[in-house]
Amino acid sequence: MRFYIIKRLIGMVPTLLLISMIIFVVIQLPPGDIVTSTLDRMQSQGVEVSAEQIINLRAQYNLDKPFVMQYVSWVGGFVIGDMGYSYLFSKPVNELVWERLGYTLLISISALLFTWVVAVPAGIFSAVRQYSIGDYLLTTVMLVGLATPSFLLALIVMYAGYEWFGISIGGLFSPEYRDVPWTLARVGDFLSHLWIPMIVVGLGGTASTMRILRANLLDELHKPYVVTARAKGVKPLKLLIKYPLRIAINPFISTIGLLLPVLISGEAIVSIVLGLPTTGPALIEALINQDMYLAGSFLMLLSVLTVVGMLLSDLLLAWADPRIRYE
């Protein structure tokens, strides 16, 4: 097992390097750069800019160096924890990303938990009671859930909240708690706001998870080892959990890794709609304003998050399935 973990950790390095290259290329794609947009802005305000200043600015952002050198200094800075300077907020990127990333992580993980808590029992029920009314009902909800874009769901929830409950849904804090230090009351306020993005972000994942679990379980339910165990006199509930479910959950564990990018994507767009202080809204602002260090850092951190998540789900799978461990 230890060997397996080390092998997987080493395997992450080239993956992350490739990802960083892709991201660096992507954030360099827009025509122009920070300096040109800064100059545009200054000139539109009537500020005269000298050629010397331009050269200084370009040097400040490393733009006078070749492309490859720019990449190396960006990645190098990343490794030592220096993510560059955000022109948009006039602050080091370091000071901007962590809190937002924390909220993104919180919402994504709580959405993942929601997905599990809802999808697993629902998937089991609809597989065990295949073709029952409950199965049809759950499958229908699942189909609609799969087809509803998360932003539409967020809009509907906002509409429903206002129209039926008279509350305005959005944000992660009530106004009075927005800019105060953490207290127990603030945590409570936070939690009372968290459940809506959690459900909205988690619902699409819940539908796909339930669909996978239902199909896997249906595959396993009539396998010979289940019949053997039943013939052994194992009680029905224990039989279901210990035998088919235990196997059906394995490929399902491996899909958690794939679910994470989906959840993080969903989180980004839902946060934009609901106005949550997470990475999504800041990323889109950074992208539109070509604040490439900020945008690049967000993209890179989100990718690291997903890669680590996939690693964790692979390790979980190795722990759950002896066949993989012994490979």
Partner 1 sequence: MSELALDTQLEAISPARLAWIRFKRHRLAMVSGGFLIFIYLTAAFCEFVTPYGTDTRNVQAINAPPMTIRFQIFDDKGDFHLQPFVYGYDMHVNEDTWMREYSENPEKMYPIYFFSSGEHYQLWNLFETDLHLFTAGEEGYIHLFGTDQLGRDLFSRVFYGARVSLSIGVVGVLLTLFLGVLLGGLAGYIGGLVDRAVQRLIEVLQSLPTLPLWMALSAALPVAWSPIGVYFGITLILSLFGWPALARQVRGKFLALREEDFVMSARLLGASKMRVIFKHMLPSFNSHLIATATLAVPGMILGETALSFLGIGLRPPVVSWGVLMQQAQNYQVIVLTPWLLIPGLFVVLSVMAFNLLGDGLRDAVDPYSTGGQS
Partner 2 sequence: MSDPVPEDNVLSIRDLAVDFKTDIGMTHALHDVSFDVPRGKVTAIVGESGSGKSVTANCIMRLIQPPGKIVSGKIDFAPIRTDGYDIVALSNRDPRLLDLRGDLISMVFQEPMTALSPVYTVGNQVAEAILCHRNVSRQEAWQEAADMLTRVGIGDVSRRIHQYPFEFSGGMRQRVVIAMALVCQPELLICDEPTTALDVTIQAEILTLIRDLQQEFSNSVLFITHDLGVVAQLADQVVVMYQGRVLEIGTVRQVLKDPLHPYTRGLLAAIPGLVQKGSRLETIASVVGDADLETPYPLTHMADGRQVSLSPTLLREAGHE
Tell me if 233 contacts partner 2 by CB under 8 A.
yes
The separation between the first and the last C-alpha atoms of the chain, rounded to the nearest angstrom, is 10
Cα 221 from Cα 231, distance rounded (Å) = 14
Tell me if 321 contacts partner 2 by CB under 8 A.
yes
Cα 299 from Cα 297, distance rounded (Å) = 5
Q: Of 195 and 225, which has the nearer Cβ to partner 2?
A: 225
Binding to partner 1 by CB under 8 A, coded x per residue (else -) over 172-191, reads --------------------
Cα 142 from Cα 210, distance rounded (Å) = 8
Q: Of 202 and 257, which has the nearer Cβ to partner 1?
A: 257
Which residues in the 242-261 window bind partner 2 by CB under 8 A? 242-243, 246-247, 250
Tell me if 152 contacts partner 1 by CB under 8 A.
yes
Considering only 261, 277, 315, 320, the residue that binds partner 1 (CB under 8 A) is: 261
* Short-list 232, 194, 212, 18, CA closest to 116: 212
DSSP string, 146-166: HHS-HHHHHHHHHHHHHHHH-
Tell me if 26 contacts partner 1 by CB under 8 A.
yes
Tell me if 187 contacts partner 2 by CB under 8 A.
no
Least distance (Å) between residue 276 CB and partner 1: 14
Tell me if 315 contacts partner 2 by CB under 8 A.
no
Number of neighbouring beta carbons within 10 Å of residue 209: 24
Tell me if 19 contacts partner 1 by CB under 8 A.
yes
By a kind-dependent CB cut-off of 5 to 8 A, residue 143 interacts, out of partner 1, partner 2, none, with partner 1
Residue with tokens 């165990």: 229
Cα 23 from Cα 300, distance rounded (Å) = 7
Burial class (CB within 10 angstroms; exposed 0-12, middle 13-18, buried 19+) of 258: middle
Cα 138 from Cα 135, distance rounded (Å) = 5
Binding site for partner 1 (CB under 8 A): 14-15, 18-19, 22-23, 26-27, 29-31, 143-144, 146-149, 151-152, 155-156, 158-159, 162-163, 168-170, 211-212, 215-216, 218-219, 248, 251, 254-255, 257-258, 260-262, 264-266, 268-269, 272-273, 279-280, 283-284, 287-288, 295, 298-299, 302-303, 305-307, 310
